[in-house]
Structure 1
Amino acid sequence: MNKTLGASYIHTQQPGVLGYVIFFGVLLVASVFSGLLVSTGNFILIALLFVMFTGVALIAFPVALLVAVLLAGIVFSGLAEMYLPVLRHIRWAAALGAVVLALIALFKWMQRDKKTFAANKSSAVNITPGIVPFWIFALLLVCVFSGLLNTGLSIETLIGLKGYFQVAGILLAFYFFGLSRKLSTRFFLALIPLALLQIPFAMHQYFFLLPTRLTQDAARHGVVAPDVVVGTFIGTAGGGGGNAILASLQVMAICLLLALWLHGRIKLKTAFIVSIVCVVPVVLNESKIMFVMLPLVLGWMFRDFLLKHTFKFMAGILVLVLFLAGMFLFYAALPRAQGKFTPEQYFSNSMRYNIGSQGYGTLKLNRSTIYPYWLDRHGANNIPQTLIGHGPGSSIEGNSGISRNTLAGEKYAGVGIGLTSGSSLLWELGILGLGVVIALHWAAFVQAGRLVKLNVFSPTEKATLVAAQAAVIVLFLNLPHNNYFVFEIGYQTLQFLIFGYIAYSAKTAASAMREQTP
């Protein structure tokens, strides 16, 4: 029987005298250290101190800590960056909380009942519960090996490594905490209220922040005005933003709504109305990846239904085409610092910096030219780094800190070798690293599809697994579009929530099938 984890993982044996001495010694040191930090008057240090003690308190309630990490990653870190930059380092709290989650998960693994945690495999459906965590661990090994091979344990390597796994504790929490099935399903269903939460912030950003970016100076610096519409995700009033993450969340929520309808959990009217509401932020932020995401995920989810009903299939295609055409015309009419575009100009401009030769923004390369550029500098002339890359963090480019000391900052400044996750992975981890990431997404996709076919899940759980499989498609489409897989905490929080839920469901299925076996 599954039990929700509360404070039950804490050892119940009373500590001896030495335990009390150690406890009060640590408390004394922490008190002195805290007093010194408070005396500095540094607001950020004091805030981090508060977060640290809050995190320690939440160790006794790891489920609450998991909720806090998810909210910090998806909601608070982005809002702080946009509206209260002095608190932008709140993302560190999410990362630290995820580390604590990982430590608790490790403790649970050490305390495990080997029969309960065994990675059972059913030959009938080929369920291997640990396959998704396996590929995450494989990616960690590739990162470490690449870093040691190139720069050793340098600060650049460590920060680059942190960029990949800063909230990986979410996956470990799902896999090892022993959450109840009802609670884990609620975590996934939370994608819908999170998507609805984006609407007021997206509306404010569109009507109040976007007009401030319609200046000639913004035009000279390649600022795209609608990029400021990011909801609760990363972005700044004067720079770019994670509008593709917002689009990804909204598409995931729409998939979940439709999956719940397909499995009879909600009415079609409810699914349709809430889905239309979820589309609003994406319409406002000019996230063109929506034109690829929506047809692919809907086509995959409804593939069986559409193949059996040809007329409805054609009608659905027509409705989708009209909807996307309407979005395209709206995108073309969005205000921008560079002046208004006709639909023809908008389409031509989009093609030039996506599959043409024009650089993306102020960069030399775009989403298609980055790959020939990488190939010209690797291949037979540089086999080791073709296979294993230049080390984690080497594609990071910026104006301060380690960003200036990386390969991108020193040798390829302004080129854009880290424009997308695909190119970043090739430069940082080589073909091997990119292959592992592709295998990770494929394993999660296949696993979710196999789980849906099992009779051990309720209709609601099956709906969430259908949506989870569609969400993996969304995550995979982000790899050639943006570089969020490599460093962005909001995107990674969503990512590890999806992967963690699939891994948890696989472990649950294996346990249920074992109990059914006579």
Structure 2
Amino acid sequence: MYKNNFSYKISMPSEWGGQKVLLYFIVLVSVLMAMLLGLIAVTGNPIIISIAVAFVASAVLLIRVDWIVWLILSLGLLVTGLLPLFFDYFASKAAWGVSLLGFSLMLIALVKIVMTPDARRNTPAFVWIALVFIAYALINSLVQWHSFGETVGGFKRYFQVWGLIFALCWVAFDKQQIRYWRLLFLFVALVQLPFAIYERVIYVPIREGLKNSYPGMVPIDVVSGTFGATLTGGGASGEMAIFLVIILAFLLARQKEKVLSSNKFLLLTPIIIAPLLLTEVKAVIVMIPLMFLVLYRNEMLIQFHRWLIGFVAISTFVVVAGYAYLFAMSQDKEKSMTEYIEQTLEHNLYDKGHFGGNSLNRTTVLPFWLEKQGLHDPASFVFGNGLGSSHLVAGGHMAMRYFGYGIGLTAASTLLWDVGLLGIGLFFVILILAWRCAAQLRRESAIAEVRADAAAIQTALVLFVFYLFYRLGMLEILSFQIPFAALLGYLAWLHCEHTCAITNK
């Protein structure tokens, strides 16, 4: 007994010594962090302060990864887009905070697969290609280094929320958590209507009074729900529109699989569609029929008469809504409806530059890129010129070389200028493999909810391809990048769940 007591007394100093070292280490780190944060605070620079706060918050949230996802989704979809209208000064700072949370999430997911090999066992192919695309874009930009701001800014804009893809695939989230996040996306879709009404009633008249002072400003562009707009600039109305069409595709797919009741579908659908009637997004006349064609492509072959009735109904709605919009736009204006249609076609499909003073439009921006390629610079054709090189606002060197052309008008043209043919090829491979993954789920899953969501995801992927040639937001607008990354991450989660279920049978 005495011997045991003696051993205990001998071991105590050793344990206490280890605890003292740990205590000293914690105190030292705390003092250094306090000094660092104090120095950051006295700079008075909101960007540096917000980055420091986001860094500390990310460190605290490491133990609750689901909280990081909640913050990214809620702040990115409901807050950062509205700040430019109400608190413009804080808008970019808040977006930086969400971006840092996104990169923290990516780091957590990557550490997870390094430390836990089992986590990567059922990873779908498109997730690996997404990781390859990030590595390629980063290495390519470092090799073609032009400036710190261009490269780092470009990397941040491209991949600020891609951590959602990897986290939803590699971090173990239960079904209830995923269900809550699905409901959050539905909630975001539903609140677009009140915000769109408010923007239409309050801000459009204000912008009408300012438009002579800001050439190129379209007053109705401010109607973008929570997706982002500024008082004197543009708005993310196109991003809001395609998001709502994607949510509509999910509702239709679930109603088709009898997962969603007809009463709930009829209640939700008008609220989802209504904001589209308050905006001036002309591309809706392409988005809605395209969504319908992809979602009901099988019915077109099996039950053609029912498909035809539905397609005629959708087309009629689109035509009537488009006519009503054009009629409203032509009232009290110098242009007639015919002239307005001709102007729209000239600036989007013919040879006139896009609205805003650029020489290129959505049709001519890709031929212009091809025209500037040649044997004098084959690296640009294959590898591009580095992330951020075509971004005008950030002063990208290629954007400055072709100033006034608008070479970064669309996501497709931006990818070609930044990462070349190889980079855009990898991006399309991600989408193609994601389509195949969703198709596999539709074939093999016995769960109607999974089949419905897989069909809706396929529809969304086609809409994303359309968007690549329509606007730039997929590579820079945070509120639209979140649905894109979350949708791919959700598909990866569905694939992992399905594969595990088959393996455990």
When the two structures are superposed, what TM-score results if normalisation uses the length of structure 1? 0.88
The residue that corresponds to 2:432 in the other structure is 442
Please list every run of 5 or more consecutive structure 1 residues that lacks an aligned counterpart in the other structure: 1-14, 120-128
Quote the Cα distance in structure 1 between the aligned partners of 2:47 and 2:402: 33
- What are the within-5 Å matches in structure 2 for residues 26-175 of structure 1? 26-39=29-42, 49-88=52-91, 89-112=93-116, 114-115=117-118, 117-119=120-122, 129-151=123-145, 154-175=148-169
How far did 1:130 drift? 2.9
Quote the Cα distance in structure 1 between the aligned partners of 2:388 and 2:305: 51
Percent of aligned pairs sharing the same letter: 24
The residue that corresponds to 1:366 in the other structure is 361
The residue that corresponds to 1:4 in the other structure is none
8 Å contact from structure 1 (residues 366, 419) kept in 2: yes
In structure 2, give the amino acid aligned to 1:404: G
Quote the Cα distance in structure 1 between the aligned partners of 2:302 and 2:98: 46
How far did 1:421 drift? 0.5
8 Å contact from structure 2 (residues 119, 171) kept in 1: no
> Measured at CA, do residues 360 and 152 of structure 1 come closer, stay the same or move farther in structure 2, by a change above 3 Å?
closer
The C-alpha deviation readout for 1:465-504, integer Å capped at 9, x for no partner, is: 2222222122221100011122221121111101111112
RMSD: 2.4
- What are the within-5 Å matches in structure 2 for residues 16-31 of structure 1? 17-31=20-34
> Measured at CA, do residues 266 and 404 of structure 1 come closer, stay the same or move farther in structure 2, by a change above 3 Å?
closer
8 Å contact from structure 1 (residues 223, 240) kept in 2: yes
Q: Aligned to 2:402, what secondary structure does the other structure show?
A: coil
The residue that corresponds to 2:349 in the other structure is 355
Q: Aligned to 1:241, what secondary structure does the other structure show?
A: coil
Q: Aligned to 2:444, what secondary structure does the other structure show?
A: coil
The number of residues matched between the two structures is 486
Quote the Cα distance in structure 2 between the aligned partners of 1:265 and 1:47: 43
The C-alpha deviation readout for 1:152-182, integer Å capped at 9, x for no partner, is: 6733122212221111111121011111133
Quote the Cα distance in structure 1 between the aligned partners of 2:454 and 2:239: 21
Please list every run of 5 or more consecutive structure 2 residues that lacks an aligned counterpart in the other structure: 1-17
- What are the within-5 Å matches in structure 2 for residues 357-506 of structure 1? 357-361=351-355, 362-398=357-393, 403-404=394-395, 406-408=397-399, 410-455=400-445, 458-506=447-495
**464-473 vs 38-47, greater mean Cα deviation:** 38-47
8 Å contact from structure 2 (residues 196, 223) kept in 1: yes
Quote the Cα distance in structure 2 between the aligned partners of 1:208 and 1:283: 17
8 Å contact from structure 1 (residues 333, 341) kept in 2: no
Which residue among 223, 226, 235 is the counterpart of 1:232?
226
> Measured at CA, do residues 363 and 269 of structure 1 come closer, stay the same or move farther in structure 2, by a change above 3 Å?
same
Structure number with the higher helix fraction is 2
Q: Aligned to 1:156, what secondary structure does the other structure show?
A: helix
> Measured at CA, do residues 292 and 19 of structure 1 come closer, stay the same or move farther in structure 2, by a change above 3 Å?
farther
> Measured at CA, do residues 38 and 149 of structure 1 come closer, stay the same or move farther in structure 2, by a change above 3 Å?
closer
> Measured at CA, do residues 347 and 117 of structure 1 come closer, stay the same or move farther in structure 2, by a change above 3 Å?
same
Quote the Cα distance in structure 2 between the aligned partners of 1:16 and 1:450: 54
How far did 1:389 drift? 0.8
Q: Aligned to 1:353, what secondary structure does the other structure show?
A: helix
The C-alpha deviation readout for 1:304-362, integer Å capped at 9, x for no partner, is: 23433333222212211211112212321445999364432232121111110111111
Quote the Cα distance in structure 1 between the aligned partners of 2:324 and 2:29: 60
- What are the within-5 Å matches in structure 2 for residues 249-288 of structure 1? 249-288=243-282
> Measured at CA, do residues 484 and 69 of structure 1 come closer, stay the same or move farther in structure 2, by a change above 3 Å?
same
Quote the Cα distance in structure 1 between the aligned partners of 2:178 and 2:460: 16
The C-alpha deviation readout for 1:350-404, integer Å capped at 9, x for no partner, is: 1111110111111111001111211111034432111111111011002xxxx23
In structure 2, give the amino acid aligned to 1:463: A
How far did 1:46 drift? 5.2
Quote the Cα distance in structure 2 between the aligned partners of 1:262 and 1:199: 25
In structure 1, give the amino acid aligned to 2:466: L
Quote the Cα distance in structure 1 between the aligned partners of 2:420 and 2:46: 41
Q: Aligned to 1:151, what secondary structure does the other structure show?
A: coil
Structure (1 or 2) with the larger CA radius of gyration: 2
When the two structures are superposed, what TM-score results if normalisation uses the length of structure 2? 0.90
8 Å contact from structure 1 (residues 170, 496) kept in 2: yes
8 Å contact from structure 1 (residues 472, 498) kept in 2: no
